[in-house]
Amino acid sequence: MTAKRVPTGMDMLDGIIGGGFRHGKNYLLSGETGTGKTIFGLQFLVKGFELGEGGVYVSVDEKPSDVIEDANSFGFDFEERIEENNLLILDYSSHFDQLREKSKEIDVRKIVGDLNKYLKEINAKRLVIDPIAPFIVKDDTIWEIRRYIRALFYSLDTLDCTSVLTSAIPTGTNQLSQYGIEEFYASGVIVLSIRQLEKMQYRRIIFVRKMRGTPYELEPYVFDFEYGKGIVIQRKLSEEYVF
């Protein structure tokens, strides 16, 4: 049986990856700061609202009021969605501080169990965790981190929702994630970047780096932001060059 596809909110992206994400899977969205990860996450939820699917947005770095403002700047009315019980914005920044105070190790099952409770509360089919890194305990050994990340992804896999997990990659590196492990366990990896093409010419680029169960062309695409839409993919990067 082929898995049900979940439209991402970006028509061109859906076209590239065979109709969208696979239902119930986890996708890593990597990119340096300012490349559009948060906007992608908001847009993914907005598509869900259009389809009558609730969404949960877990915010770690930004205050919920800032997330609402980000959404507003694109014409997405998140306050209305919250009132209608279609959206929950969870502020996890203080949550982690409290958890760490109690015990050094963060229990994956407890975190994902809590998340599941919130997802069920509004019958959410979409989850955005922005960003995923604070879910991982930094001071452990690499083996513990690896074990933890695997457990985290496996637990997320048990949820009846499709997840976008953002990962801020250090500026100027080729890494895909903070720990270099997250990408192995994700069903797909999408990389956002800003590239300088020629003198003073910058482009926003979206590149599908990995997409399990989906044949696709390895091509970077150029995108812009549009009011009312968010990320809008324009064309292949290769079409920008005149040979």
Residues found near ligand ADP in the complex (CB under 6 A): 31, 33-39, 73-74, 225
CB 25 within 8 A of CB 154: no
| Binding region for Mg ion (CB under 5 A) | 37-38
| Identity of the residue, 108 or 205, whose beta carbon is nearer to Mg ion in the bound complex | 205
Q: At its nearest, how many Å lie between ligand ADP and the CB of residue 234?
A: 14
| Identity of the residue, 74 or 151, whose beta carbon is nearer to Mg ion in the bound complex | 74
Q: At its nearest, how many Å lie between Mg ion and the CB of residue 20?
A: 22
Binding partner at 163 among Mg ion, ligand ADP, none, C-beta below 5 to 8 Å by kind: none
Binding partner at 35 among Mg ion, ligand ADP, none, C-beta below 5 to 8 Å by kind: ligand ADP
Buried b (16+ CB within 10 A) or exposed e, 84-99: eebbbbbebeebeeeb
Residue nearest to Mg ion (CB): 38
Q: At its nearest, how many Å lie between ligand ADP and the CB of residue 222?
A: 15
Binding partner at 31 among ligand ADP, Mg ion, none, C-beta below 5 to 8 Å by kind: ligand ADP
| Identity of the residue, 38 or 162, whose beta carbon is nearer to Mg ion in the bound complex | 38
**Closest C-alpha to 144, from 176, 169, 108:** 108
CB 85 within 8 A of CB 142: no
Three-state DSSP class for residue 154 = helix
| Identity of the residue, 2 or 173, whose beta carbon is nearer to ligand ADP in the bound complex | 173
**Token pair for residue 154?**
């496996």
Q: At its nearest, how many Å lie between ligand ADP and the CB of residue 229?
A: 10
Three-state DSSP class for residue 90 = strand
Report the distance separating Cα 114 and Cα 196, nearest Å: 42
Three-state DSSP class for residue 224 = strand
Q: At its nearest, how many Å lie between ligand ADP and the CB of residue 59?
A: 11
Residue holding tokens 């959206």? Answer: 87
